[in-house]
Amino acid sequence: MVAHLCDDEIYNQACLDGTFADLDFSGGLDASNQRGVRRRRAMTPAAVRLEWERRQRRVRRAWGRIGLKGKIETAGAGQYPLRLQVWHLAQEYAIHADDIEVPVPARARAGRAGWRIAFGLFAAREDGSPIDARLRPDGSLLLRRRARRVPLEAETFIAYLTRRPQQLKDPAQRRLVERLLGQ
C-alpha cells in the first residue's frame, strides 16, 4: 500500500515541477500504479516508507506555500484548484484506509461517510458521469439508476462510488454493488 502511495507522490511532485512527460501512463492508471509498486518490491518496507515520507513532506510544504486558494498544474485537468486536488487525495487515502481495514471510531463514521459521499458525487459530476442520488433523513441514500430507485446504506453507497464492493462485509450488499456496477 505504501509503495502505491509513494508512487502517487511522484505524480504530485510532477504537478509541482511540470514533469508529466517523465511519467509513464501507458496502459492506464492501474498499469502505472502496478509499475510503481513493482519498482519498489526489492526495497525494504522501511525504505519505501521513508521515500514516501520524504516525497510527501516536499509536496505538502509546496502546497502549503501555494495555499488552498491557489492552483496547480495537473496531467488531466490543466490548472486545477489545489483545494480540490487535496480533496481527491483525502478520498484516495480514505479508500486505501478501507482497503486495509483501518478502524474508524464510531463517533467519526457519520462525518467521514458524509464527506466521502459529497466528494464521490462531486467527482462523478466533474468526470461527466453524474450520479442521481438523494440523501434520506435516516442517513441512507436513494440511488436512481436506469429508471430504478435503489435504497442504499451510506457504506454501501460509498462502495458503489469507489467501485470497491470487496470492502463490504455483508455478502448481499457486496452482490448488490457488483450488480449496480455491472461486474
Helices (H), 67-170: 82-99, 106-126, 154-161
**What is the pLDDT, as a whole number, of residue 150?**
94
Q: Is residue 154 one of the residues assigned to a domain?
A: yes
Q: Is residue 20 one of the residues assigned to a domain?
A: no
Q: Encode pLDDT of 107-126 as tens digits.
A: 999 899 999 999 889 988 98
Q: Is residue 180 one of the residues assigned to a domain?
A: yes
Q: Is residue 123 one of the residues assigned to a domain?
A: yes
**What is the pLDDT, as a whole number, of residue 181?**
92
Asked if pLDDT for residue 61 goes beyond 80, the answer is yes
DSSP class of residue 142 equals E
Asked if pLDDT for residue 59 goes beyond 70, the answer is yes
Count of domains forming the chain: 1
Q: Is residue 150 one of the residues assigned to a domain?
A: yes
**What is the pLDDT, as a whole number, of residue 183?**
63
Q: Is residue 172 one of the residues assigned to a domain?
A: yes
CA angle 35, 37, 41 (to 5 degrees): 115
Q: Is residue 45 one of the residues assigned to a domain?
A: no
**CA gyration radius, the chain:** 18
The model's pTM is: 0.81
Q: Where are the strands (E) in the chain, listed by range?
A: 71-74, 78-81, 132-135, 141-145, 148-152
In terms of residue numbers, what domain contains 183? Answer: 103-183
Q: Is residue 85 one of the residues assigned to a domain?
A: no
45-66 vs 2-17: helix crossing angle, rounded to 10: 30
Task: Report which secondary-structure segment, H or E, holds 9.
Answer: helix 2-17
**What is the pLDDT, as a whole number, of residue 77?**
86
